[in-house]
């Protein structure tokens, strides 16, 4: 009896994904474009993640992330999403189905995007099995290190959505016991 119960318990606790990467993409020097990296820093401070969940500041160079995301079971990409919608709105997109979309003529390496890398990796069968994109609508991507008010407000909402997703997948995530301030190093002047 005990044994059966224990097995059941184990089944629920077995995570659906053995390894997960959460990547924040964007430029912290361009205001709301820095939301992806900001969220990574926020999550790092607010929660404790198990060792098979990696949080990655992808910064401005998604193409350099190949070895860190290959063969992952689940990849979450956080980025500013340029569509016309209310700033601060959080969108969840199924990245796996978006991968089939074509990319256009490229004139500069800036256009070999993170997305192209994922398409390449899919062709070589080393891409993450499941991809989710979390896009936050920016208000201002001009030069500067501060987020706009509506995007600032989206931090907690977006973080909660990610945590809920991961918990549903059976991953143990604890809230940090001490209050740690996120390391937004780019906002402070030494």
Partner 1 sequence: MKKIITIDPVTRIEGHLRVDIAVANGKVTDAWSSGTMFRGIENILIGRHPGEAWTFTQRFCGVCTTVHAIASVRAVENALNLEVPLNAQMIRNLLIAGHAIFDHISHFYHLSALDWVDVASAAKADPAAAAKVAQIISPEWERNSVAEFKSVKEKIKGVLNSGQLGIFNNGYWGHKALRLTPELNLMAVAHYLQALEYQRKINEVVALLGGKCPHIQNLAVGGVANPIDLNEEASINMTSLLKVKSYFEAVRGFVQNAYFNDVCAIMSQYMPWAEYGKGVNDFLAVPEFPTDTAGKHFTMRAGTVIENEVIDIRGFNDSYVEDNISESIAKSWYDGDWDLHPYHETTDPKPGEFDPKGKYSWVKSPRFNGKRMQVGPAAQVLSSYMLSDQLTVKYVKKFADVVNAVGRATNVSSASNLTVEGLVKALPSTLGRHAARVIRCAAIQDMALSHWKILVENIGTGDTTIYNPPEYPKGECQGVGMHEAPRGALTHWIVIENGKIKNYQAVVPSTWNLCPRDDKGLLGPTEAALIDNPIVDSKQPLEALRTLHSFDPCMSCAIHAFSPEGKTLGSANARV
Residue with tokens 């709105």: 89
Cα atoms in the 13 Å half-sphere on the side-chain side of 179: 0
> Taking CB under 8 A as the rule, does residue 62 contact partner 1?
yes
> Taking CB under 8 A as the rule, does residue 160 contact partner 1?
no
Smaller CB distance to partner 1: residue 173 or 183?
183
- Options 54, 60, 89, 96; binder of partner 1; rule CB under 8 A: 60
Q: CB–CB of 157/90 below 8 Å? A: yes
> Taking CB under 8 A as the rule, does residue 92 contact partner 1?
no
- Options 13, 82, 94, 164; binder of partner 1; rule CB under 8 A: 82
Distances (CA, A) of 5 to 12, 151, 164: 11, 45, 25
Which positions from 93 through 122 interact with partner 1, judged by CB under 8 A? 93, 98-116, 119-122
Question: What torsion, rounded to 10 degrees, do the Cα atoms 175, 181, 185, 190 define?
Answer: -160
Residue with tokens 């959460």: 22
Instruction: Extract the tokens encoding 54.
Output: 């990696």
> Taking CB under 8 A as the rule, does residue 163 contact partner 1?
no
The site for partner 1 (CB under 8 A) is made up of 25-30, 33, 36, 57-67, 70, 79-83, 93, 98-116, 119-124, 133, 135, 141, 143-145, 185-186, 189-190
């Amino acid at each position: 009896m005990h044994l059966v119960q224990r097995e059941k318990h184990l089944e629920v606790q077995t995570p659906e994904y053995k390894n997960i990467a959460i990547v924040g993409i964007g430029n912290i020097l361009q205001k709301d474009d820095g939301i992806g990296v900001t969220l990574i820093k926020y999550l790092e401070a607010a929660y404790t993640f198990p060792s098979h969940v990696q949080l990655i500041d992808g910064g401005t160079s998604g193409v350099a992330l190949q070895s860190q995301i290959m063969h992952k079971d689940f990849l979450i990409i956080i980025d500013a999403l340029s569509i016309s919608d209310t700033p601060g709105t959080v969108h969840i997109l199924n990245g796996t189905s978006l991968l089939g979309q074509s990319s256009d003529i490229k004139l500069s390496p800036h256009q070999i995007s993170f997305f192209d890398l994922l398409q390449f990796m899919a062709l070589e069968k080393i891409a993450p099995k499941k991809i989710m994109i979390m896009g936050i609508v920016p208000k201002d991507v001009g030069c500067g290190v501060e987020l706009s008010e509506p995007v600032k407000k989206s931090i907690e909402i977006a973080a909660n959505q990610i945590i809920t997703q991961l918990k549903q997948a059976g991953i143990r995530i604890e809230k940090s016991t001490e209050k740690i301030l996120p390391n937004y190093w780019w906002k402070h002047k030494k």
